[in-house]
Amino acid sequence: MYQAEKTRYQNMQYPYCGKSGLRLPLLSLGLWHNFGDTSCYETMKSLCFTAFDNGITHFDLANNYGPAYGSAEKNFGKILREELHAYRDELLISTKAGYDMWEGPYGIGGSRKYLLASLDQSLLRMGLDYVDIFYHHVPDDQTPLEETMGALASAVQSGKALYVGLSNYDGKRMKEAAAILRSMNCPFIINQNSYNIFNRTIETNGLKQASKEEGKGIISFSPLAQGLLTDRYLNGIPADSRIRTDGRFLKQSQLTPERLQSIRCLNDLAKERGETLSQMALKWILRDGVVTSVLIGASKPEQILDNLKVLGSAGFTEEELTKIDEASL
């Protein structure tokens, strides 16, 4: 039976999530990849143990993470039941609904029927009475915002979620949703969006500034741009890389000569700072304190340990930030 390291809280930082009382670890573990039925269960356990042993208390899922859909929640639920159940009150567990999950008109979107049915299914797969955060995963233009937000509020009122979040919303719609949720006394505390050196959409669509104004946290996913912000592709495409094994989210066509040159320039700057490119990329996201936590993914425990080194790394000079902009924009 797994026993957590007694020193697990010594080095991790836990900033407050916006103006809420909930504190997230600076790094969180995302189960988007490598927790489906095509992955090794023993490796999944090692990833979770390594994360928690080093103070990563937050595990982020969604209903359709896999493959197959639902399998990441099912496998994480097995780990909870067999190994981590004694630590449930030390864990933050989040899940989402919004993208397609099952066939027919009720398995996608933002309707009350879909969101609440999906949450029930997620709790059943994980063997939980509640999740700490329940997200609407993606905006749905076909469903009234009041209905979607009302479903999130019902999730909290029923005791099946403690807090709610929004994912992939822009600043304008997030503010509209926040006003509705505030009128319902629903604890909306966090936004989850893609954010990295190469993808700065939350800066241009108003989400980053709106989150700051509204007192909401931000947790960023794809912080390493699906592996582009590492040294993995500097000398060709490895046989076991994501491009080779799963081309859905990272395609070879994205590795243009211009992009590779940007990666090389950023890698050189990271070396000057005494860091790996991935460590510098994570630090960049956290540079101004607006982002609460960064969702890291991993296929082996060593990657988690490498990412944790960002906790002790130095901040950026204005000159370094300018060089990063020049190399990436």
pTM exceeding the 0.85 threshold for the entire prediction: yes
* Average predicted confidence (pLDDT) for the chain: 95
Q: 236 lies in a domain?
A: no
Q: 21 lies in a domain?
A: no
Q: 20 lies in a domain?
A: no
Q: 78 lies in a domain?
A: yes
Q: 257 lies in a domain?
A: no
Mean pLDDT score, 164-182? 98
Residue 233 pLDDT: 78
User: Around Cβ 292, how many Cβ atoms within 10 Å?
Assistant: 27
Helix residue ranges, H only, the chain: 41-53, 71-79, 112-126, 145-157, 171-183, 201-204, 207-214, 242-245, 257-272, 277-285, 301-308, 318-328
Q: 8 lies in a domain?
A: no
Rounded to an integer, what distance in angstroms lies between the CA atom of residue 279 and that of residue 19? Answer: 27
Tokens representing 93 are: 């567990």
Q: 69 lies in a domain?
A: yes
Q: Is the Cβ–Cβ distance between 285 and 223 less than 8 Å?
A: yes
CATH code of the domain in which 215 resides: 3.20.20.100
Reported as a pLDDT band with limits 50, 70 and 90, residue 116 is very high
Residues 226-264 pLDDT 10s: 899 998 877 756 655 555 555 565 566 677 889 999 999
User: For residue 310, what are the domain limits?
Assistant: 27-228+285-314
Residue 238 pLDDT: 60
Mean pLDDT score, 105-111? 98
Q: 323 lies in a domain?
A: no
Tokens representing 181 are: 């949720």
* Residue type at position 208: K
Rounded to an integer, what distance in angstroms lies between the CA atom of residue 43 and that of residue 117? Answer: 30
Mean pLDDT score, 209-220? 98
Structural domains of the chain, count? 1
Residues 263-307 pLDDT 10s: 999 999 999 999 999 999 999 999 999 999 999 999 999 999 999
Residue 236 pLDDT: 59
